[in-house]
Amino acid sequence: MGKLSVNYLGLALKSPLIVSSSRLTSTLGSIKEAEDSGAGAVVLKSLFEEQINQYINTMQPTHSYPEADDYTSFYIKSHSVEEYLTLIRRAKELISIPVIPSINCYTSEGWTGFAKNIQDAGADALEINVFFLPTDRKKSSAEAEKVYFDLIEKLKKTITIPVAIKIGYRFSNILYMIDQFYMRKVNGVVMFNRFYEPDIDINKLDIIPASIFSNENERRMVLRWIGMASAQDIKIDISASTGVHSGADAVRYLLAGANSVQVCSVLYDKGIPFLKKMNSQIETWMDNNGFASIGDFRGKLNYRNYKKPIVFERTQFMKYFSSED
């Protein structure tokens, strides 16, 4: 393995850069391009829990005849699930880097048994992208968190390949959640997903989608939590996601303690081959700083290793409000 090699979810990656789940990983052509451009692994575009549940229902021989329109939608959904399994099989034949399928899910009902089909198709690991927006003010955060735990427990009973959970950062206590994932034998946590958010067009007086692509400033929401999570005394891998637009950004997350770094928006902007440049930027930085391997500097600036860990805890702008510091 070369000097950019890392271990993530027990898989040997030749680069810490992973192309994250999106349309960029939805075809064999783009997946091959990712490998040729130096990606360490690919996370396939997500399959939705609803698609899987529809698929399971259409497979039931006792199911009553659906109406024609429903039938069409059922067919399309089952078809896309079959296509997804084919994509995994073909990707495994075509490329040698790890192939990590992804499922968007928000309940533990129905779909989890299907993960076995993904494993049987040859997946190296599974990433689950779990999120549901709490919209019920009567529902406690503990109830919401339990959904994550139930789901993981069911999944871990179904499959033996490594599981990574992709989460958002809106938890009362992220470190508690990660600890609970670890206790349930989750192998990795992807920090963090970036969600569809609404915006307002004041000229049209309408709700419009906010930009789906990230910028580098969004790193600020991620760095602290990677620095804190990687310093915990637990063996759970971390994959950074959101705001990685250059090799330097990847280095920042690795210094904070990430095991791998996922890349999406910048590749929509600059094309998948930009990964080559990012890898060479990381190598140049390592050469300039005397690091022979990623392991030599990974986590060097996390909460445990940094000389003033208090900076990770600081949330208020003391410097601007007082004469001290």
Residues forming contacts to ligand FMN in the complex (CB under 6 A) are: 20-23, 45-46, 102, 104, 129, 166, 193-194, 212-214, 241-244, 263-265
CA–CA gap between residue 11 and residue 155 (Å, rounded): 20
CB of 294 to ligand FMN, least distance (A): 19
Residue number, 84 or 312, with CB nearest to ligand FMN: 84
Residue number, 179 or 218, with CB nearest to ligand FMN: 218
One-character DSSP codes across 261-307: EEE-HHHHHH-TTHHHHHHHHHHHHHHHHT-SSGGGTTTTTSTTTSS
> Residue 139: how many CB atoms within 10 A of its CB?
10
CB of 283 to ligand FMN, least distance (A): 20
Residue number, 43 or 291, with CB nearest to ligand FMN: 43
Residue number, 45 or 291, with CB nearest to ligand FMN: 45
Per DSSP, what are the bridge partners of residue 208?
A: 199
CB of 123 to ligand FMN, least distance (A): 15
CB of 71 to ligand FMN, least distance (A): 26
CA–CA gap between residue 155 and residue 167 (Å, rounded): 16
Residue number, 130 or 294, with CB nearest to ligand FMN: 130
CA torsion, ordered 265, 271, 276, 278, to nearest 10 deg: -30
| SS3 at position 152 | helix
CA–CA gap between residue 56 and residue 78 (Å, rounded): 8
CB of 34 to ligand FMN, least distance (A): 13
